[in-house]
Chain A
């Protein structure tokens, strides 16, 4: 708001040279956005449809690609709810209670954003791989984690861990505990407080976090790459399928990639819609 009033206040005295500088800055910024962001997005669709619609449809209907889509949806269907509950639980603990190690817990929740996805995958192998800490025990019980679905889920949960918690914690912090405490004095039990007081107040922020979490879960490459083993039709998620196709069939790789790009555009559109319609329910940052 302050910025706008400044702009208006000083607009009165804007000289032609300032107006020229302003136009120059706007043009420069738009060029950066178009050159750096829009052109790559357009390039994906252009390459995907280069050999025509029939080729495109054929490429995305290959059995391996269908299997990859199914696996990506499966991984997201497990990892996203896990993270949704994680975000709610972490936010409940972080915002309604004081306990030793709280700051450390907050830092740990943020950690996955700054760790390289490849390093994350490596760390999972060191624990769950054949020669890892739990490798022998898992093998004894006939559970395969690395190069199988559980590994993909673990890697996905790792890289998406902060998304929901990060949206909820600042919001619930700002809202305080008064309403929950009032419900408690009126005789509500824990679950009633959670479902009838807390959840309705954070539902849009929760949806926002889940949306971003889902986009990352479906698009994750590095961490999943390390733990997947790339068994075609078995442990290839959609991004891994894109990578493998790229070696063999350039246009087919772009056709499959365009599905992920479409998901991105859709995600960004819903994100904007949420910010526009429910911005005041999200958080001061948006």
Chain B
């Protein structure tokens, strides 16, 4: 045991572990235990139904697509906020945090009101044959909304710290602005961009509040996996089924958490070049 110079180690660690234990560790262990107790065949019996598979496919598929869209939109917005000076730039910057701070249920309500067939945007899209509310497109939209700030906020500090000498070198060698962006800046941003992507993906996969209002939760069509977990608990009292599905979601979260860790280490190595 190493000797600690400063006091308070025991008190700090015991409080930390008490809260962590009762809120995170014990519940985590209970879920892992329940899932293991099921065994592979019982687990598959819970997961392998048409309804659950459809929900998982939608949850992961839409989240993947949403994270890709977030990556593109986030790159655009982060770039403009860091590189250009324009009116209301600070307001725009503050706005990015909105999906972080807006309660998810409120976001869900707002998006539904906006994209319903009588909403401001929905009524304009309807003549074009595009329906967003109560379709898979709505699920995608809600996921894009909640994941958006992750990409911007991950990219911003890195973009700000980007040294200008590489770009200037490319400039003197005759590279066009587009070439400078694609061949010099983008490769440097890649690990950070992927970190933001992974964070947005993790958030979108697990999202509940903002999705369930606009999705309409139609059987086989717009049910997401977290919605099914809630359904199994609330209306069927099927804790085994809920635990089996929760275990799948937890596994995905843990994998993404590890991926983010690896990506951040990669990004730090790149920071030397920047």
- Return chain B residues, CB-CB under 8 Å to A126: 27, 30-31, 34, 239, 243
Given A93-B9, A119-B249, 10 more pairs with CB closer than 8 A: A43-B110, A89-B15, A111-B28, A113-B202, A119-B246, A161-B23, A194-B8, A225-B208, A260-B105, A261-B102
Establish whether residues B16 and A89, one from each chain, have CB atoms under 8 Å apart when the complex forms.
Answer: yes
Q: Interface stretch among B43-51, B82-90, B128-136, B215-223?
A: B82-90
Establish whether residues A264 and B103, one from each chain, have CB atoms under 8 Å apart when the complex forms.
Answer: yes
| Residue B36 interfacial (CB < 8 Å) | no
Establish whether residues B256 and A114, one from each chain, have CB atoms under 8 Å apart when the complex forms.
Answer: yes
Q: Which residue of B lies closest to A50 (CB)?
A: B113
- Return chain B residues, CB-CB under 8 Å to A21: 177
The interface on chain A, measured as residues whose beta carbon lies within 8 A of the other chain's beta carbons, has a size of 104
Establish whether residues A226 and B233, one from each chain, have CB atoms under 8 Å apart when the complex forms.
Answer: yes
| Residue A74 interfacial (CB < 8 Å) | no
| Residue A98 interfacial (CB < 8 Å) | yes
Establish whether residues B76 and A257, one from each chain, have CB atoms under 8 Å apart when the complex forms.
Answer: no
Docked Cα-Cα span, A193 to B7, in Å, equals 9
| Residue A44 interfacial (CB < 8 Å) | yes
Pick 15 A–B contacts, CB within 8 A, sort by A. Answer: A18-B177, A25-B84, A36-B145, A40-B145, A44-B110, A86-B19, A86-B20, A118-B226, A118-B249, A190-B8, A225-B230, A242-B105, A254-B109, A271-B94, A285-B157
> Which of B7, B114, B159, B239 interacts with A3 by CB under 8 Å?
B159
CB neighbors of B among A235-286 (8 A): 239-240, 242-243, 246, 253-254, 257, 260-261, 264, 267-269, 271-272, 284-285
Docked Cα-Cα span, A254 to B181, in Å, equals 44
Establish whether residues B113 and A7, one from each chain, have CB atoms under 8 Å apart when the complex forms.
Answer: no
Interface residues of A (CB under 8 A from B): 1-3, 5-7, 9-10, 13, 18, 21-22, 25-26, 28-30, 32-33, 36-41, 43-44, 47, 82, 85-86, 89-90, 92-93, 96-99, 105, 107-120, 122-127, 129, 131-133, 154, 157-158, 161, 177, 180-181, 184, 189-190, 193-194, 212, 215-216, 218-222, 225-226, 239-240, 242-243, 246, 253-254, 257, 260-261, 264, 267-269, 271-272, 284-285
Docked Cα-Cα span, A284 to B271, in Å, equals 15
Establish whether residues A184 and B233, one from each chain, have CB atoms under 8 Å apart when the complex forms.
Answer: no
| Residue B5 interfacial (CB < 8 Å) | yes
The interface on chain B, measured as residues whose beta carbon lies within 8 A of the other chain's beta carbons, has a size of 97
- Return chain A residues, CB-CB under 8 Å to B22: 154
Interface residues of B (CB under 8 A from A): 2, 4-9, 11-13, 15-16, 19-20, 22-28, 30-31, 34, 73, 76-77, 79-84, 86, 88, 90, 92, 94-107, 109-111, 113-114, 119-121, 144-145, 148, 157, 159-164, 167-168, 171, 177, 202-203, 205-209, 213, 226, 229-230, 233, 239, 242-243, 246, 249-250, 253-254, 256-257, 260-261
Closest 4 CB pairs of A and B: A116-B206, A219-B103, A123-B27, A6-B164
- Return chain B residues, CB-CB under 8 Å to A119: 31, 206, 226, 229, 246, 249-250, 253
